Structure 1
Amino acid sequence: MVEHNVLIANPDYEITISVVIFKPDRLVLGNTLKSLQRALEETTPLRAKLYVIDNTPDVSDHNWLRELLPDLPLEIIAGHGNIGFGAANNMVLDRAGKFHLVLNPDVEMQPDALKQALAFMTENPAGGLITPKAFNPDGSTQYLCKRYPAIFDLLLRGFAPNGIKKLFRKRLQRYEMRDQIADTLFWDPPIVSGCFMFFRGDIYKQLGGFDPRYLLYFEDFDISLRTGKITRIAYVPAVKIVHEGGHAASKGLWHIRQFARSAFIFYTTYPLKLF
């Protein structure tokens, strides 16, 4: 592990947040941002700034976002088109604060989520990235931590019908680290989800952000593996969120193509594991 502060985070803000959007559902995004505002209020006084990076082509109306969050420092970056999730987050890499949260536009956090994350980072200087305890909208647990994936696991999880998944239930549960991830702190999961990544700002800068080759999917796999080489990742169940995302196979052919493209990039960068 290398020491923190190799690259200095922006001293103007104790926490920065980046949210990348593309043709967003205003109700879903609004709920995300309201939950963010509530969580920030639990940590006040705290110098915070939100960056919304809009990958939607030809959008000019963002006044509704400003009206939604009148008291939160907000910068909207738009007009660049769909450059991908990672590249869009990287547009504010040089502005990351002492802590930087990469937040999906379909995540609602508990009011004390940021308070818990900040407390953990203060008490555990070895930690450079936090992943939370997540729930599906129906209240069931969502497993954000993963072991290193075999292609077979990814195909099973993303595309197999439920009957086939049941045959390989134990294998999928192991991939999702259900034998390790519960209601207690767990250190060093190999891979964590990109829906909520709470970084130390200097670590995020040292990583150079996300690999922009990934337009969508697998960018969180890549940055997790790179993060684990320079600092420690922690699953912190006191930090709780609800996440609506996932299900690439149900989103149409374009998403399936992006999944396959990103899988090819990933497995030509990291060791190929078939089964």
Structure 2
Amino acid sequence: MPTPPDLTLPTPIAAISPPITVSIVSHGQLALVRPLLEQLDRHSRAAIAKVVLTLNIPEPDALAGQSWGFEVEWIRNASPKGFGANHNQAFGRCDTPWFLVLNPDIRVDSDVLAPLIVQAAPDAGLMTPRILEPGKTAPEPHRALLTPLEILGRNKPGYVRPAVPAWIPGLFMLFRSAAYREIGGFDERFFMYGEDFDICARTRLAGWTLQVGEDLLARHDAQRASHRSKRYLYWHVTSLLKVWLSGSFWRYRRMRTPAP
């Protein structure tokens, strides 16, 4: 009689169906997407069921002739969509336990996906590694509650960053699919900017936690469009106003404010 499996031991990621669907949106950025796919294939192939790659605007196929160890499913939008709408659309193609929202300009030098899942607490609804920005030697500090005073004070002497993030930037967001589905995904009223804070607030309000892989690192080749484009700056400012006028912002603020 064969020996039954030891159910007390964790099953290696490679021994089960790949648990992650990745969503990447290109805005004429396939040249940035190509090295990202190569790195994901090199380091995290066993964790990825498929990549849903959305072309938000028409562009030449810079990936022609390429293949990877996971499926790449294409979506070609007839007209451009906002950040949240694109990833919600991609989530409609997700049938895995985890859903990863990833910027085209993220870079990884090792596998961070399998370790994130191994580290996940039972109530972790949204996870991320630490993020290293260009020219920096230390990862980005955790984000405090997004308020006008916080924005004005974050670069002043004496500003104290939180030990636990109040929100996670939208460039690398690994959602538990059950949590994403429960809260209805991104709020599509945000076209670009602000939707990352909003979805973090609603995730926490729904009883899920935000968890950071403190020992894991991804690099961000930052594209600071809002610093040089009036249109992007307009989206940024109007999105902040939408955040501060939303009910989820004020409920989350009360949740995080200690009782007197």
- AA aligned to 2:129 is P
Q: Structure 1 residue 207 and structure 2 residue 183: aligned? A: yes
Report the Cα offset of residue 263 of structure 1.
Answer: 1.1
Aligned partner of 1:90 in structure 2 is: 88
What is the CA–CA distance in structure 1 between the aligned matches of 2:63 and 2:188, rounded to whole Å? 26
Residue 22 to residue 261, structure 1, CA distance change in 2 (3 Å): same
Judge conservation of contact 2:19–2:48 (CA < 8 Å) in 1.
Answer: yes
What is the CA–CA distance in structure 1 between the aligned matches of 2:151 and 2:78, rounded to whole Å? 31
Judge conservation of contact 2:50–2:72 (CA < 8 Å) in 1.
Answer: yes
Q: Alignment partner of 2:65: what SS?
A: helix
What is the CA–CA distance in structure 1 between the aligned matches of 2:139 and 2:231, rounded to whole Å? 25
What is the CA–CA distance in structure 2 between the aligned matches of 1:208 and 1:54, rounded to whole Å? 23
Matches within 5 A, 1:113-132: 113-121=112-120, 124-132=121-129
Aligned partner of 2:39 in structure 1 is: 35
Judge conservation of contact 2:24–2:101 (CA < 8 Å) in 1.
Answer: yes
Aligned partner of 1:24 in structure 2 is: 29
Residue 240 to residue 47, structure 1, CA distance change in 2 (3 Å): closer
Judge conservation of contact 2:25–2:53 (CA < 8 Å) in 1.
Answer: yes
What is the CA–CA distance in structure 2 between the aligned matches of 1:81 and 1:12, rounded to whole Å? 34
Which has more radius of gyration? 2
What is the CA–CA distance in structure 1 between the aligned matches of 2:101 and 2:227, rounded to whole Å? 24
Aligned partner of 2:158 in structure 1 is: 170
Q: Which runs of 5+ in 1 are unaligned?
A: 1-10, 158-164, 181-185
Report the Cα offset of residue 110 of structure 1.
Answer: 3.1
Judge conservation of contact 1:110–1:239 (CA < 8 Å) in 2.
Answer: no
Aligned partner of 2:243 in structure 1 is: 266
Q: Which runs of 5+ in 2 are unaligned?
A: 1-15, 254-260
Q: Alignment partner of 2:79: what SS?
A: coil
- AA aligned to 1:84 is G
Matches within 5 A, 1:132-147: 132-143=129-140, 145-147=142-144
Aligned partner of 2:104 in structure 1 is: 105
Aligned partner of 1:4 in structure 2 is: none
Q: Alignment partner of 1:221: what SS?
A: helix
- Between the two proteins, what is the percent identity of the paired residues? 25
Judge conservation of contact 1:102–1:196 (CA < 8 Å) in 2.
Answer: yes
Q: Structure 1 residue 151 and structure 2 residue 148: aligned? A: yes
What is the CA–CA distance in structure 2 between the aligned matches of 1:37 and 1:195, rounded to whole Å? 19
Bigger relative contact order (CA 8 A; separation at least 6): 1
Report the Cα offset of residue 138 of structure 1.
Answer: 2.5
Report the Cα offset of residue 156 of structure 1.
Answer: 6.2
Deviation string, structure 1 residues 80-100 (Cα, Å, up to 9, x no partner): 322111100010223321111
